[in-house]
Structure 1
Amino acid sequence: TYKMSRQDGEFELYSNPTEGGIYFVNTKLIQYEHVLVFNNITKFNDVIYQPGLGNRQHRLRLVGYKTGGWDGSLTAEGFIYNDGDVPLWIANTNYVRGDIVKFRDKLYTSLINQTSTSTFVYENWAQTDSFKIGLLPNFDTLGKNFESFYDVNAVNLESETDKYGKGSIGYQNRDYFNQIGLDDVSQVKFYQGMLQEKGTKNSIDKLIRSKFDQISSDINFYEEWAIRNAEYGATDLNSRVEILLDEEGFVDNPQPITVYNTIQ
Structure 2
Amino acid sequence: MSRQQFLATGEMDPFFTSWAYQDLAQIAYEQNELAKAQHSLSQALALRAKPEEGVHVFSSGALIHARLLHACGETQKAQEMLMRWERSTHFSWPLSTIQVLLARLHLALGNLPAVEQWAQYAFSPQTSTQERSLPLLYQQEEALLLARLHIAQKRGEIALQVLTPWKEKAQAQGRGRSVLEIQILEALAHAAYQEQSQAQTPLLQAVKLAQPENYQRLFLDEGPMMESLLKTILPELRNPSLLSFVRTLLRAFARERDVLSPKEETPSRVSMALRLHIRNSS
| Highest RCO, 1 vs 2 (Cα 8 Å, sep ≥ 6) | 2
The structure carrying a bigger strand percent of its residues is 1
Look at both structures and tell me which one has the larger radius of gyration over its CA atoms. Answer: 1
In the superposition, the TM-score normalised over structure 1's length comes to: 0.21
